[in-house]
Amino acid sequence: MSISSNDELTGMQKVSEAVALTLKAMREHCRVGMSAKELDDFGGDMLAKLGAVSAPKLTYDFPGHTCISVNNEVAHGIPSADKIFREGDLVNIDVSAELDGFWADNGGSFVLGEDINGHTALVDASKQILQKALSQIKGGVKIADIGKLIETQAAKHGFKVIKNLAGHGVGRSLHEAPHEILNCYDKFNKTRFRKNSVVAIETFISTQSTYANEGADTWGLIGNKGGYVAQHEHTILVTDGEPVILTKNNGIWDF
């Protein structure tokens, strides 16, 4: 969406704060031995207390309030009761919601407990690359150039990107134009970021895979060549300078 009034800005700030605080609280609440369903129920309760409704449940009838992906799951993981968190797991939580007709999206990956499986470098790279990408986004910048930046930075860190998952516009629905804010360079995409538009920017940084495929449960996505993926995401307002990070209070850069 494009922000054209103070009421719209206030609406986006309110829903963005709801998803940001829920994501932060879920990460802090996550414990070894807990099931993904327990964590998801905690997140769903918090969204409800904040007046928000789960976006994936509302839009796609997703079997959970939030997407919780663990280890080799790339995205859209079902928060099931038999998914039990273990020491050193690579956990990704993606929280999106609707509140008073406005929608926002954010997510982040982290290592649970001690990093016995060596995922910290991947997680740190994803966070740093998102920071760098956001610092370059303003009205008039080509979307393809941000994809090129993300892909180039991933390679410098020794990683790859998932090429068929993307950031997107958000605001009056969960997914809006521009729909393809890719993590890689697309020479055919001539679209530019527009001042006052709201977009969700996310990294998908990978150790081995370059594409995400549908898993056995039709929801969770798995990398085409295995390995692990870290994702970090903010909903932002594009300006003619530094963007306004609407979900800044999710603390994803602090984990």
For strands 244-245 and 229-237, give the pairing: antiparallel
**1 lies in some domain:** no
- The CATH code of the domain that includes 71 is 3.90.230.10
The DSSP letter of residue 253 is G
Euclidean distance between CA atoms 43 and 28, whole angstroms: 11
**136 lies in some domain:** yes
Flag whether pLDDT at 217 surpasses 90: no
State which amino acid sits at residue 106: N
**19 lies in some domain:** yes
Tell me if 176 is assigned to a ligand binding site: no
Tell me if 17 is assigned to a ligand binding site: no
The whole-number pLDDT of residue 112 equals: 98
Peptide bond into 178 cis (omega under 30): yes
Tell me if 119 is assigned to a ligand binding site: no
**242 lies in some domain:** yes
pTM above 0.85, yes or no: yes
The whole-number pLDDT of residue 216 equals: 85
Q: Is the dihedral of CA 8, 129, 39, 31 positive or negative?
A: negative
Tell me if 105 is assigned to a ligand binding site: yes
**153 lies in some domain:** yes
Instruction: Give the residue-averaged pLDDT of 158-177.
Output: 97
Mean pLDDT, the chain, whole residue set: 97
pLDDT in tens, 221-246: 999 999 999 999 999 999 999 999 99
The whole-number pLDDT of residue 132 equals: 98
- Domain coverage including residue 165: 6-254
| Count of domains for the chain | 1
**155 lies in some domain:** yes
Can you read off the two tokens belonging to residue 114? 């001690």
**31 lies in some domain:** yes
DSSP E strands, 40-159 = 53-54, 67-70, 73-75, 90-99, 102-111
The whole-number pLDDT of residue 255 equals: 78
Euclidean distance between CA atoms 31 and 207, whole angstroms: 25
Buried b (16+ CB within 10 A) or exposed e, 89-108: bbbbbbbbbbbeebbbbbbb
Tell me if 233 is assigned to a ligand binding site: yes
In this prediction, residue 51 has a pLDDT band, given cuts at 50, 70 and 90, of very high
Euclidean distance between CA atoms 202 and 131, whole angstroms: 10
CB-based burial label for 110 (10 Å; 0-12, 13-18, 19+): buried
Flag whether pLDDT at 209 surpasses 90: yes
Flag whether pLDDT at 81 surpasses 90: yes
Instruction: Give the residue-averaged pLDDT of 35-45.
Output: 98
**238 lies in some domain:** yes
Instruction: Give the residue-averaged pLDDT of 182-194.
Output: 97
